[in-house]
Structure 1
Amino acid sequence: MLLDTYGRTATDLRVSLTDRCNLRCTYCMPEEGLDWLKKTSLLTDDEIVRLVRIAVTRLGVTEVRFTGGEPLLRPGLVSIVARCAELEPRPDLSLTTNGIGLERVAPALRDAGLDRINVSLDTIDPEVFRRMTRRKRHDDVLRGLAAAREAGLAPVKVNTVLMRGVNEDEAPDLLEWAMENAYELRFIEQMPLDAQHGWKREGMVTAADILASLRTRHTLTDEGANERGSAPAERWLVDGGPYRVGVIGSVTRPFCHACDRTRLTADGQVRNCLFAREETDLRAALREEGSDDERVAELWRAAMWGKKAGSGLDDPSFLQPQRPMSAIGG
């Protein structure tokens, strides 16, 4: 098992398939993009599947989420999903994507064994989308969402980040749009993981701000936020149900005490926390001549054993990770 010194067990694996992305969201990366990882440094499809197999069969992982960058840019995505779905015991398989290209591949992902999907969309206004992402792809995302719903990848979850002076006034409209389309909306506080290191706490739209905005039109009933365990989202019934909305307050309402995640970057580094500044190289172990699965598993266990009690966001000495979110994986 992937235990740490605080008694937590990691059963949820986040696997980044690429650091590349076809959007340039202002809270993530600069307009010109970033220096992408070299192809030779990326894990191969076989290496990804091997690491997932080690995690599932030797380390107690039960949930695997594929992320990026933008995972739909990974040519072998469908095959990776299919091969992971054949593992015993079979893990729960999910994907986080910006939705561009999802219209084409959603049925194939379902047939490969994908169980659930999250699509990032911060606005229902095409012009605001263009300003936030620096791309005119709003319609592509909407079509991708509809295709995922029609393919049966339910519940289709929509991840939204609100920014002051940009889209912070859209919270109620986004919720009503999501309910009309049978999507489950989850607001996420903006986190200090931008490549530009321009995040400032005082400029963040907080979970409290989001809930206050939603309550201008709707009644929210707490589903038991204090009992959410390792789930990142506090969930609320909207107007008595059945629809729900989630709020992930990673900064102001952290859930570190029950975190059950372990993270694998596209170049094969284990991160025991989203905000960690240290990594453990599994790629090198995989590529050593004669390397065996137990050697890799031991390195992974050691990496998780050293996990800190919390993210450190409340510490005045907090420093952002050197890698931005696009290179870490969501």
Structure 2
Amino acid sequence: MLADEFGREVSGVRVSLTDRCNFDCVYCHNEGLGDTRGPMDPQDDEMTADEVVRFLEVVEEFGVEKVKFTGGEPMLRQDLEEIIRRTPDSMEVSMTTNGTFLPGRAEGLVDAGLERVNVSQDAMDPEEFAAVTKSGAYDRVMEGVQAALDAGLDPVKLNMVVFEKTAGYVPEMVEHVAENPGLQLQLIEYMPELTGKAEWAIDIDRVHNWLAEQAVEIEHREMHDRKRYWIGGTADDDGGMVEIVDPVENPTFCANCHRVRVTHDGYLKGCLNRNDDLKSMGEMTRDEIRETFRETVAQRVPFYGEYMVREGDGEWELNDEYVELAD
């Protein structure tokens, strides 16, 4: 398994299959790009199934154990089941989706090898959901979550981005997962550096503190230095699990990152927050992929604490030492 100069082994990859999405979430930097009429063959700028599989077969040689398929909305790819079926057997396969295409496809995805799924859900009310996602698909998402559970994707983890427009819905979402076995909740800190509108950010510590007051049990995970809060029960008796993903201005989070990313158009990148470290895998030959993967891992740096550092005034600023990586 390859490791960067900070000792962070790369054990997982996140592969974007498309930047198209049938939602237009107000916090998303892609803003519902592209043709979203429904599942279709890969578009001209998207990796083919062969290219995705070739990449996964190569990184398996380096001990990569997990792959998560993302988008945009990955289920806009008609060949998603084929890609999952052809993913190396040694890899755990998961997916992040908005859930609208899970009805009718969830069972086939499980048969192909899908093991876990995250479904984006930012509110429990159709009108509030529509205000955030610019979509009238609330009922379809709820059907998708149930389809995933019926197909055996248990637990289903609900993703909720926490910012000014959704923070008030957190208690209701927590209650929802606590009352429904098979559901878990992942609260994701809003990242203004990706989307702009810094005024939408909230103090995520307030959410941590509130959950700590509600929790029966609190678990610490090494990965990204995350905390899990068990509400209404414990891990041993199916209590509702709520986890916070809080990367913003968090050196500890970045110091425990073990993933690299692949863009929909075939570029490797060492960090979600950066686009100055993109490396093309060329025409996707295996040797090119090996070389590019080695370079990407070798040049990975924790975004907060190394790439970005705090100055005397407490502000985060670019560390000049790493500017050369963009050249």
- Normalising TM by the smaller chain, what interval? 0.7 to 0.9
3-state SS, counterpart of residue 119 of structure 1: strand
Q: Alpha carbons of 1:132 and 1:111: their partners in 2 closer, same or farther (altered >3 Å)? A: same
2:86 equivalent to 1:83? yes
Q: Is the 8 A contact 2:178 2:231 kept in 1?
A: no
The partner residue of 2:294 within 301, 305, 319 is 301
What's 1:134 paired with? Answer: 134
What's 2:207 paired with? Answer: 210
What's 2:55 paired with? Answer: 51
Q: Alpha carbons of 1:215 and 1:307: their partners in 2 closer, same or farther (altered >3 Å)? A: closer
Unpaired runs of 5+ in structure 1?
A: 320-330
Q: Per-residue deviation at 1:250?
A: 1.1
The amino acid that maps onto 1:268 is G
Any residues of structure 2 matched to 1:54-203 within 5 Å, and which?
Answer: 54-56=58-60, 58-84=61-87, 87-88=88-89, 90-164=90-164, 166-182=165-181, 183-192=183-192, 194=194, 197-200=195-198, 203=200
Q: Alpha carbons of 1:104 and 1:205: their partners in 2 closer, same or farther (altered >3 Å)? A: farther
Q: Alpha carbons of 1:231 and 1:107: their partners in 2 closer, same or farther (altered >3 Å)? A: farther
The partner residue of 1:245 within 242, 250, 265 is 242
The partner residue of 2:303 within 310, 314, 324 is 310
The partner residue of 1:222 within 197, 218, 235 is 218
What's 2:325 paired with? Answer: none
What's 1:323 paired with? Answer: none
Normalised TM-score (structure 2): 0.85
Any residues of structure 2 matched to 1:252-267 within 5 Å, and which?
Answer: 252-253=249-250, 254-267=252-265
The partner residue of 1:269 within 263, 267, 289 is 267
Q: Alpha carbons of 1:214 and 1:236: their partners in 2 closer, same or farther (altered >3 Å)? A: closer
Unpaired runs of 5+ in structure 2?
A: 36-41, 311-315, 320-327
CA distance in 2, matches of 1:34, 1:107: 28
Q: Alpha carbons of 1:220 and 1:206: their partners in 2 closer, same or farther (altered >3 Å)? A: farther
CA distance in 2, matches of 1:230, 1:30: 27
The amino acid that maps onto 1:144 is G
* Of 243-252 and 119-128, the range deviating more from structure 2: 243-252
Q: Is the 8 A contact 1:257 1:309 kept in 2?
A: yes
3-state SS, counterpart of residue 223 of structure 1: strand
What's 1:327 paired with? Answer: none
CA RMSD for the aligned pairs? 2.2
CA distance in 1, matches of 2:81, 2:317: 42
Q: Is the 8 A contact 2:59 2:290 kept in 1?
A: yes
Q: Per-residue deviation at 1:222?
A: 2.2
The partner residue of 2:229 within 236, 240, 262 is 236
Normalised TM-score (structure 1): 0.84
The amino acid that maps onto 1:250 is P
What's 1:324 paired with? Answer: none
The amino acid that maps onto 2:253 is F
Q: Is the 8 A contact 1:221 1:239 kept in 2?
A: no
What's 2:8 paired with? Answer: 8
CA distance in 2, matches of 1:281, 1:175: 41
The amino acid that maps onto 1:257 is A
3-state SS, counterpart of residue 27 of structure 1: coil
Q: Is the 8 A contact 1:126 1:138 kept in 2?
A: yes
